[in-house]
Amino acid sequence: MFKACARLPRVLLALLLLLSAAAAARAQGSQQTSDNPCKGQPPVRERQGTSGGDNSQQPQAASAQPLTGGQKVKCAFRGAFLSPTPYLSSIISGGIRQMGEDRLPHKDGGDEVADWGSQSARIFATRATMRVFTNGFYAAAFRQDPRYERARSKGVGRRALHAMSRVFVTRDDDGNLEPNYSRFAGAMTAAALANVWEHSTPGHDRVGTDATLRRFGRSFATGALTNIVFREFLPDIIGIFRR
């Protein structure tokens, strides 16, 4: 009991320090958002009809500048480690996962909180790995733009479908639409590497081939939800309150 209570302040302090460091880094980086290429839109190569009534389609120049390979890696590391959002979401997800675990009779409240911190750390490691590989290394290797492309249509349904589709397709550096190779490779890499730090518990197998494939599949479901809520519609909601 006393050993668990002694561990409890250290776990809470570690979580607090993580949040403080992330918030400080976020505040420092927010001063340069106007010149931050990570926040822009990807290049889009559109097709328009030619003059003279010809209905044939011809590719037009991309509408924005693509990121360099170095910029992609830098933006990926910045998003994974220098923003409070990954830390907060991992802590919340760790708490939800911990509530789904069986309460063991030999563990008290201090042990439960320590396990919550451990769950949060493992979730954070998996998500950070996926972001660095998907938006950084693989985006540079496959010459794909990791930035989210917001829908140009106004309908809610069309925008939601657009947001969901962006986990499967994306723009390359020339603005062409193609399969999202970076995400497929990044999701599988993160799902496989998670076997290094994950731990199976009674009734919850988190290590092995089945667990890896489940993590791979869930990453697309959570990615689609993130696109819909936070990338597609949240900027509009924030804009309403800023008026």
The per-residue pLDDT for range 34-85, each reduced to its tens digit, is: 468 888 889 887 655 544 444 444 444 455 789 999 999 999 999 999 999 9
Higher pLDDT, 235 or 25: 235
Using DSSP's 3-state secondary structure scheme, residue 49 falls into strand
Report the pLDDT averaged over residues 95-105: 85
For residue 28, the model assigns a pLDDT of 44
Count of Cβ atoms closer than 10 Å to residue 2 Cβ: 7
Mean pLDDT of the residues in the chain: 83
Query: Averaging pLDDT over each range in 48-57, 192-201, 213-222, which range is the top one?
Result: 213-222
pLDDT at 5 over 80: no
pLDDT tens, 203-217? 788 999 999 999 999
Nearest-angstrom CA–CA distance, 243 and 241: 6
pLDDT at 153 over 70: yes
Nearest-angstrom CA–CA distance, 196 and 174: 37
Nearest-angstrom CA–CA distance, 235 and 17: 29
Q: How far is CA 21 from CA 8, 10, 27, in A?
A: 20, 16, 10
Report the pLDDT averaged over residues 138-161: 96
Report the pLDDT averaged over residues 19-44: 61
Give the CB-side neighbour count of residue 223, counting CA atoms within 13 A: 25
Largest Cα separation within the chain, whole Å, is: 84
Q: How far is CA 47 from CA 51, 58, 136, 146, 177, in A?
A: 13, 5, 29, 22, 12
> Which residue type sits at 153?
S
Using DSSP's 3-state secondary structure scheme, residue 69 falls into helix
pLDDT at 15 over 70: no
> Residue 58: which H helix or E strand, with range?
strand 57-59
Alpha carbon 113 to chain centroid distance?
25
